Structure 1
Amino acid sequence: MTLLNLFRIGSLSRIAKKLTTLQIQNFSSYVKYAEHKQLEKIRNIGISAHIDSGKTTLTERVLFYTGRIDQMHEVKGKDNVGAVMDSMELERQRGITIQSAATYTIWKDHNINIIDTPGHVDFTVEVERALRVLDGAVLVLCAVGGVQSQTLTVNRQMKRYSVPCLAFINKLDRLGANPERVLKQMRSKMHHNAAFIQLPIGLEKECQGILDLVEEKAMYFEGDYGENIRLDEIPQDRRAEVKEKRHELIEHLSNVDENLGELFLEEKTPTIDQLKQAIRRVTLKRTFTPVLVGTALKNKGVQPLLDAVLDYLPHPGEVENTALINEKKGAEGQTIVLDPARNDSKPFVGLAFKLEVNKFGQLTYLRCYQGLLKRGDNIFNARTGKKVKISRLVRMHSNNMEEVSEVLSGDIFALFGVDCASGDTFVNDGKLQLAMESIHVPDPVVSMSIKPKNNKDRDNFSKAVARFTKEDPTFHFRYDSDNKETVVSGMGELHLEIYAQRMEREYNCPVDLGKPKVAFRETLMSSCSFDYLHKKQSGGAGQYARVVGVLEPLPPHQNTVLEFIDETIGTNVPKQFIPGVERGFIDTCQKGYLSGHKISGVKFRLQDGAHHIVDSSELAFFLAAKGAVKEVFDDGAWQILEPIMYVEVTMPDEFHGTVIGQLNKRGGIVTGTEGAEGWTTICAEVPLNNMFGYAGELRSMTQGKGEFSMEYSRYSPCLPDVQEQLIRKYQEEMGILPDQKKKKN
């Protein structure tokens, strides 16, 4: 007797025996999703877009129409519930998506795995790793905003992983909606061969439905939530427009599809099936992008989008996935194509693309590319060789877990208790050395100092940092020994701010975020000789040491190092005391007398000295060297060096002048520019002290389209006003009196 029959006759005790780990209330989902579909009936899609284009609202509607949830909530609704996919409290409060969330649903007997991704550039790695494991994507565009900065970023990411996509122009109900303008931007800014396959019936508050250009039907969405679709004839006043737009669609397809091109040249009208097959062929090749329209908030156009996902996006068997063989013997570096067949004829191969820590431990999201994995099986991390036994297999619905007994090729699932890194490959054969293409991780662009407000929270602080750096490869943490402070780096100020808030909420550890200090250096401007005697005799063993020599600056290309040279001849300074002199010199250079920063770019030449047969020791010479450096500081001319960064800014040509002007204002020197395909790259050298806040400024200057990278170039003398400011600040901190200030200056 099947589980379904047991359910019908109400034998709950017998069901409970069958459903060991699943709760009875999830029984209908269990029956619906536990059956394994054929490969052709599976879709793995992502929903990606710029900020506030309506991704999460669209996902909410998809889950509602497919029967996955029984009521819809707004992203930042008045009922304080929030969307299903925004499971984090911070996401619901701010009305933004911070973490990508996975779910799965069923539409017309097809299993659809969906990943809803963030829109902010600060969380771009979430989009990156989602697109790495997906077969297709829905690119959501706002009918008012059109192609925006993050749309271009997402488009580049799709291109990197060769992900076919559909475009969905959302928010037709908004004031100023103009899908025609959005289509033009797709063609001009994103270089897509795109054309409408749907047209809206009315815009803004007049939005009533959509016109299907492929099947030449009008669709109206009726009922309280637009769940009832009424098909009708094309309205009389729109028939000429539909005919024209359909011809335009066929023309765009004919340019990239041979079969349809022949029909077009013969002036034959393709059938509906021929048109659909042509759209599917060219969409899979990424030579054409079908454009759909609708408004997710007003429940119009979502069901046709789901149909288009089934009709035009690939199933796992249509995407070629490869792995690199890295065997110890044999063909090293050979690439093999993975077999997507849903059976256990080939060994299991899976890719871990996301890590998440919750109350149950570390949750690892994986995509199965080949073979079969059952609960109780052993798998091996191909990178580390570690063996793991699978005790629980779960599929995710936002932050809810639903257990399954096995997963097949094409499935997205999660495991507990697996020690790995994002991008690791897993196999069920320990002898199989395979590695799949890893996930591209961009370098962090913004750094801030961080410290817990209360010292008693240090344990929680270290736990939070350890968790977040493991989960998010773009979140970096380091201790700056120069400035004695901890520094976090990320993709933007919002990125770091979110993590600071999460530390307070999830670990009860409030933190202070601040501008990190710049590692300035102090150096000598001209050679200065010294002759210093250290003498201490106040009863007991005394101290006696004399050092004579020269302290001189090193050339500019060596201004970050210290050098010690022993030029003594004879026994005036015994050789066993030389290391003491060197240590005294290096120790003194750890904190300069001008601004409290390290001394560098200085050479200590020990030329002569004197010792006492009883009172001299290594400690005495250590203290003598410290005194000699202090003496040179009082007599010599010193200056402060600052780090100069090599900055590379990429932006559209139209912002070229504005960006150069801003770099000049920040004390930068432009070293070169180059341009290609409407984009310009500017190379410049800018003091690090002037680069704080540049990420936000660049985004606002370039409408969010500009990006920059920054790396250390060299140390160079800072401007006199900056030096004066640093000296004054240090003297105030040290409480030095005015007459002493004169002496220092």
Structure 2
Amino acid sequence: MQPTPRTLNLGILAHVDAGKTSLTERLLYAAGVIDEIGSVDAGNTRSDSLELERRRGITIKAAVVNFPLGSGESAVSVNLIDTPGHPDFIAEVERVLGVLDGAVLVVSAVEGVQPQTRVLMRTLRRLSIPALVFVNKVDRPGADDVRVLRQIARELAVPVVPMGRVTSGLGTRTARISAPAGEDEAFTRDLLDVLTTHDDDLLAAYLDHGTSLPYARLRTSLARQTSRARLHPVYVGSAITGAGVDALVEGIGDLLPAAPGDAGGPLSGRVFKVERGERGERIAYVRLFSGELRTREQVTVRGTGHKVTGLAVFDRGTAVRRTAARAGQIATLRGLPTVRIGDVVGREPEGRPYGRVFAAPTLESVVVPTAGPERAGDLHTALAQLAEQDPLIGLRQDPHGGEPSVSLYGEVQKEVLAATLAEEYGIEVSFRETTPICVERVTGTGAAYEVLDHEGNPFLATVGLRVEPAPPGSGVVFRREVELGSLPPGYMRAVEETVRTTLRQGLSGWQVPDCAVTMTHSGFCSIRSTAGEFRALTPLVLMAALRRATTRVHEPVHRFRLEFAQDAYPAVALALARHGALPGPPVAAGDAYVVEGHLPADRVHGLERELPELTGGTGVLETEFAHHRPARTPRVRARGDHNPLNREEYLLHAHRRM
């Protein structure tokens, strides 16, 4: 009987235009999955399946394709996940990271290390995801594999092992790659220098035998340390011509960890992607970490049981319908009508934390249907469906039918969202000005309470709350000063849940992310009170307490690193001042300057637009969220709730609802 192949879930990561999708095509071709290599320019690649991706020539959604590697006991089934390279779609990358066994980080031999390359490598290291590096595009004019290798070691600050070099034809389609061999003394010496840092047994053997150690011994240590993300082998080649790709494939099979998984264990999986089928039904992409899943089987998602009505696994390029999926595989599931990205199927995966890796979006914009208010309902429905596929869209709309707003990482998302709404839903839209997503910080202490049966309190509940500041990053802390047993647990939970929900919009309409809320008063009518009464009263009391405590709006600030030619410094310094940046002094880096500092989030795009002209095309800007600071100007956000700051309006709604 043929052994069941192990599964390797492999991510292809890179800065935009480094050649990820082209490498995916080449790997599928090399494995015999496709007969012809697709082209990003021609729009016929396997992983970029969306029409919008084909037209724009960029990856927008993570895509899964599969190819076999090896045979017999060494056979590996590789699920290749092609991810977006543009920073505006970093959320797609984030969701994939939690299900990977390993990664290939692609770097262009022409442009070298780019801002997104640094972000991705730092993240791979932080999550201990084993990764190979592939220096692509050695066939392009301007390619320099030696320079880029030095750049990788210096700028990414990671231990690397060169696994090949260009021996002739650099910068042309005839570029030839030489893979190092065990008899190459210089390679052996360099390899030992890196490996012995984390392998004491190998170090002892090296001291005894020098460089005459068997290459198989070094290869074993290389595989072990690579699989533990202690070092990163670097391959060179061209996805277009195929040069060097065979060596990379060998490295994927030999150096990255593929495990059979525990098919006999309890069912445990994670949803990392949700899309809609032709009939509008949700299709969940699930990485199974343990157990086995069959069609018609009942599974638990967020405490609710659902029957799996359809199942497919990835095999030789595409998803193929099956009756079962096992540990290690990625499956697409139908029959989970409320499934969301991040949901657990079965048990929580052990040792696989899943949460925020990158900062949440710091910008937002109002979406307006160009056809007028008559399409407002259709627009909201469409945005709600898109938010299922990308929760970080962060759809907001006030309950009185106001204009919806969405969260953004950058301006390219606007273009993609507008095109998606037009092509998939027939809704033409425009966007208002992009604004930063602020937060409110509590500045003092405030308390309020309302008593059951007291004049002015129409609810059968007593609630008292005190609000106090808490350090940034501490979250909302809910405490109790009321006597234990003074309130049924269900009513207490209702108050706490409502406190957290209400604090999504503070006095100025922004989220209050960090504060301590203490329940100081409680009371109920044993015959007539309900949890709904407490849910209705809590926002009024909480906002009254927050008014007395007061809040201050804080805006998001990004940390930036800007590299440019030294002669451009005067123009760059003026631009930084104009955009409200707080830069440090310039630091010489060869014939360039590097400036680091902080920049308001809503000014990043403006600086990016000006940079090519300011620096003659030499400027490279890297940014990431750093912190919030007091807003430069008052910023008020339209409310998306029933406004507990306006008692009359709120009570009118509450009575209608109850």
Correspondences of 1:61-76 after superposition (within 5 Å): 61-76=26-41
2:416 maps to 1:450: no
2:271 maps to 1:352: yes
CA deviation digits over 1:236-285, x for unaligned, max 9?
xxxxxx54234222322222322332232221422232121111011122
CA deviation digits over 1:114-171, x for unaligned, max 9?
1011110011111111121011101111111111111111112212321011111111
1:65 aligned partner, one-letter code: A
- The residue that corresponds to 2:65 in the other structure is 103
User: For the structure 1 residues 599 and 397, does the alpha-carbon distance in structure 2 shift closer, same or farther, using more than 3 Å as the test?
Assistant: closer
SS state of the match for residue 422, structure 1?
coil
SS state of the match for residue 706, structure 1?
strand
SS state of the match for residue 178, structure 2?
strand
1:665 aligned partner, one-letter code: R
- The residue that corresponds to 1:49 in the other structure is 14
Do the aligned partners of 1:86 and 1:398 also contact (CA within 8 Å) in 2?
Answer: no
Do the aligned partners of 2:362 and 2:556 also contact (CA within 8 Å) in 1?
Answer: no
Do the aligned partners of 2:137 and 2:237 also contact (CA within 8 Å) in 1?
Answer: yes
2:225 maps to 1:260: no
- The residue that corresponds to 1:438 in the other structure is 354
Residue 177 of structure 1, aligned match among 128, 143, 161: 143
- The residue that corresponds to 1:615 in the other structure is none
State the superposition RMSD in angstroms: 3.9
Do the aligned partners of 1:446 and 1:493 also contact (CA within 8 Å) in 2?
Answer: no
- The residue that corresponds to 1:280 in the other structure is 223
Do the aligned partners of 1:143 and 1:178 also contact (CA within 8 Å) in 2?
Answer: yes
Q: CA deviation at 1:83?
A: 0.5
2:159 aligned partner, one-letter code: N
Q: CA deviation at 1:694?
A: 4.1
2:620 maps to 1:703: yes
CA deviation digits over 1:621-657, x for unaligned, max 9?
xxxxxxxxxxxxxxxxxxxxxx975443312386899
More divergent stretch after superposition (482-491 vs 410-419): 482-491
Q: Return the alpha-carbon distance in structure 2 between the equivalents of residues 463 and 505 of structure 1.
A: 15
User: For the structure 1 residues 422 and 298, does the alpha-carbon distance in structure 2 shift closer, same or farther, using more than 3 Å as the test?
Assistant: same
Do the aligned partners of 1:155 and 1:190 also contact (CA within 8 Å) in 2?
Answer: yes
- The residue that corresponds to 2:114 in the other structure is 148
2:395 maps to 1:477: yes
Correspondences of 1:506-585 after superposition (within 5 Å): 506-515=424-433
Q: Return the alpha-carbon distance in structure 2 between the equivalents of residues 518 and 433 of structure 1.
A: 35
Do the aligned partners of 1:447 and 1:489 also contact (CA within 8 Å) in 2?
Answer: yes
SS state of the match for residue 105, structure 2?
strand
1:276 aligned partner, one-letter code: R
Q: CA deviation at 1:481?
A: 9.4
2:559 maps to 1:650: yes
Residue 460 of structure 1, aligned match among 348, 372, 378: 378
- The residue that corresponds to 1:375 in the other structure is 295
Correspondences of 1:606-621 after superposition (within 5 Å): none
User: For the structure 1 residues 664 and 313, does the alpha-carbon distance in structure 2 shift closer, same or farther, using more than 3 Å as the test?
Assistant: same
Structure 1 portions without partners, runs of 5+: 3-34, 217-241, 318-339, 520-556, 562-574, 577-597, 601-642, 719-745
User: For the structure 1 residues 398 and 506, does the alpha-carbon distance in structure 2 shift closer, same or farther, using more than 3 Å as the test?
Assistant: farther
2:304 maps to 1:386: yes
More divergent stretch after superposition (263-272 vs 86-95): 263-272
2:79 maps to 1:116: no
Q: Return the alpha-carbon distance in structure 1 between the equivalents of residues 626 and 609 of structure 2.
A: 14
User: For the structure 1 residues 391 and 483, does the alpha-carbon distance in structure 2 shift closer, same or farther, using more than 3 Å as the test?
Assistant: closer
Do the aligned partners of 2:576 and 2:583 also contact (CA within 8 Å) in 1?
Answer: no
- The residue that corresponds to 2:172 in the other structure is 205
Residue 131 of structure 1, aligned match among 94, 97, 112: 97
CA deviation digits over 1:298-342, x for unaligned, max 9?
12122221111110001136xxxxxxxxxxxxxxxxxxxxxx32x
Q: Return the alpha-carbon distance in structure 2 between the equivalents of residues 697 and 275 of structure 1.
A: 49
Do the aligned partners of 2:436 and 2:556 also contact (CA within 8 Å) in 1?
Answer: no
TM-score normalised by length of structure 1: 0.61
Residue 4 of structure 2, aligned match among 10, 33, 37: 37
User: For the structure 1 residues 160 and 496, does the alpha-carbon distance in structure 2 shift closer, same or farther, using more than 3 Å as the test?
Assistant: farther
Q: CA deviation at 1:296?
A: 0.9
Q: CA deviation at 1:205?
A: 1.8
Structure 2 portions without partners, runs of 5+: 438-442, 447-454, 457-506, 510-551, 588-592, 636-658
Give the length in aligned residue pairs. 506
Correspondences of 1:614-633 after superposition (within 5 Å): none
User: For the structure 1 residues 661 and 248, does the alpha-carbon distance in structure 2 shift closer, same or farther, using more than 3 Å as the test?
Assistant: same
Q: CA deviation at 1:448?
A: 2.2
SS state of the match for residue 172, structure 2?
helix
2:577 aligned partner, one-letter code: N
SS state of the match for residue 405, structure 2?
strand
Structure whose alpha-carbon radius of gyration is higher = 1
- The residue that corresponds to 1:82 in the other structure is 44
- The residue that corresponds to 1:231 in the other structure is none
Residue 258 of structure 2, aligned match among 315, 338, 350: 315
Q: Return the alpha-carbon distance in structure 1 between the equivalents of residues 104 and 604 of structure 2.
A: 36
Q: Return the alpha-carbon distance in structure 1 between the equivalents of residues 304 and 572 of structure 2.
A: 50
Q: CA deviation at 1:482?
A: 12
Residue 410 of structure 1, aligned match among 312, 315, 328: 328
- The residue that corresponds to 1:297 in the other structure is 240
Q: Return the alpha-carbon distance in structure 2 between the equivalents of residues 59 and 671 of structure 1.
A: 40
2:578 maps to 1:665: yes
Identical counterparts, % of pairs: 28
Q: Return the alpha-carbon distance in structure 1 between the equivalents of residues 435 and 349 of structure 2.
A: 45
- The residue that corresponds to 1:532 in the other structure is none
SS state of the match for residue 133, structure 1?
coil
Residue 421 of structure 2, aligned match among 503, 516, 522: 503
SS state of the match for residue 622, structure 2?
coil
Do the aligned partners of 2:560 and 2:622 also contact (CA within 8 Å) in 1?
Answer: yes
Q: Return the alpha-carbon distance in structure 2 between the equivalents of residues 355 and 298 of structure 1.
A: 34
Correspondences of 1:323-362 after superposition (within 5 Å): 340-341=261-262, 343-344=263-264, 346-360=265-279, 361-362=281-282
Q: Return the alpha-carbon distance in structure 2 between the equivalents of residues 275 and 434 of structure 1.
A: 32
Q: CA deviation at 1:75?
A: 1.0
- The residue that corresponds to 1:227 in the other structure is none
1:253 aligned partner, one-letter code: L
Q: CA deviation at 1:666?
A: 3.8
CA deviation digits over 1:27-73, x for unaligned, max 9?
xxxxxxxx7724xx322211111111111111111111112112212
Q: Return the alpha-carbon distance in structure 2 between the equivalents of residues 262 and 518 of structure 1.
A: 56
Q: CA deviation at 1:667?
A: 5.4
User: For the structure 1 residues 46 and 447, does the alpha-carbon distance in structure 2 shift closer, same or farther, using more than 3 Å as the test?
Assistant: same
Q: Return the alpha-carbon distance in structure 2 between the equivalents of residues 116 and 48 of structure 1.
A: 7
- The residue that corresponds to 2:514 in the other structure is none
Residue 157 of structure 2, aligned match among 171, 191, 196: 191
CA deviation digits over 1:348-388, x for unaligned, max 9?
1111111112314211111111111122211101xx30101
Q: CA deviation at 1:214?
A: 3.4
SS state of the match for residue 212, structure 2?
coil
Answer 1 or 2: higher relative contact order, Cα 8 Å, separation at least 6.
2
Q: Return the alpha-carbon distance in structure 2 between the equivalents of residues 365 and 122 of structure 1.
A: 22
Q: Return the alpha-carbon distance in structure 2 between the equivalents of residues 389 and 599 of structure 1.
A: 44
Q: Return the alpha-carbon distance in structure 1 between the equivalents of residues 578 and 398 of structure 2.
A: 28
Q: Return the alpha-carbon distance in structure 2 between the equivalents of residues 411 and 433 of structure 1.
A: 14
CA deviation digits over 1:547-578, x for unaligned, max 9?
xxxxxxxxxx89xx9xxxxxxxxxxxxx99xx
More divergent stretch after superposition (153-162 vs 305-314): 153-162
Q: CA deviation at 1:100?
A: 0.7
- The residue that corresponds to 1:607 in the other structure is none
User: For the structure 1 residues 472 and 314, does the alpha-carbon distance in structure 2 shift closer, same or farther, using more than 3 Å as the test?
Assistant: same
Q: CA deviation at 1:706?
A: 2.0
Correspondences of 1:241-256 after superposition (within 5 Å): 242-256=184-198
Q: Return the alpha-carbon distance in structure 2 between the equivalents of residues 48 and 250 of structure 1.
A: 28
